Structure 1
Amino acid sequence: MINKRFFKTKDEVEVTFELPQEQVDKSVALVADFLDWQPMQMKKVAKTKSFKFKTRLPKDQQFEFRYLVDDERWINDPAADQYKPNGFGEDNCLLNTY
């Protein structure tokens, strides 16, 4: 799940990435172009039984990302705006901030 919060007075968008706990055994990392493709561990939230990562991104742009589950399995977000082949025989998720 992806939640976007747009601000009327700012040129940025608050984006929350969320993955249900049942899709994860131990851990999940967000891997994205806006993080220089370095895995960023998502925080486990007991109340919602999910893993979350929140950030602010520039408006009117497009970003690529995937989730790395348990350091071994790549998955995509079904709520992504689009998908794009990544050169490894799979697709990356695309997130639009417009």
Structure 2
Amino acid sequence: MAVTKKFLKTKPEVQVTFEIKADATGDASRVYIVGEFAGWEPVELKKLKSGLFKTTINLPTNKQDSYQYCYRLVLPDGTEKFENETQADAYCSNPYGGENSVISVLP
């Protein structure tokens, strides 16, 4: 998964783009990302013609210094798979015995 950040000059926000390549999703028909920034509700990534899944989320830079996130891969048979982001800024423990990825919104 690729994560890119674009800090906005006109607002206290950073545009974070999440992309997952087709070969990393297998035959998945849908991919979601969940995190604090969305109240842990799933946000669906749009599937492009190339098979790439992509979404951009604006995160405030003036509310807290980091946001945790992980993403959920939903397979065609309805099973779910959780993955940690290899490009995360850091990792932190979650209450389920695993780790969540952390993204920093500070430049």
- TM-score, normalised relative to structure 1: 0.89
**1:4 paired to 2:22:** no
Mapping for residues 47-62 of structure 1, pairs under 5 Å: 47=50, 49-59=51-61, 61-62=65-66
Where in structure 1 do 4 or more consecutive aligned residues deviate above 4 Å?
none
Find the counterpart in structure 1 of residue 45 from structure 2: 42
**1:28 paired to 2:31:** yes
Q: In structure 2, what residue type is equivalent to 1:58? A: P
Identical counterparts, % of pairs: 33
Find the counterpart in structure 1 of residue 73 from structure 2: 69
Number of residue pairs matched?
Answer: 97
Query: Mind listing any 5+ residue stretches in structure 2 that lack a counterpart?
Result: none
- TM-score, normalised relative to structure 2: 0.82
Q: Per the alignment, in what secondary structure is the counterpart of residue 8 of structure 1?
A: coil
CA RMSD after TM alignment? 1.4
- The alpha-carbon deviation at position 55 of structure 1 amounts to 1.2
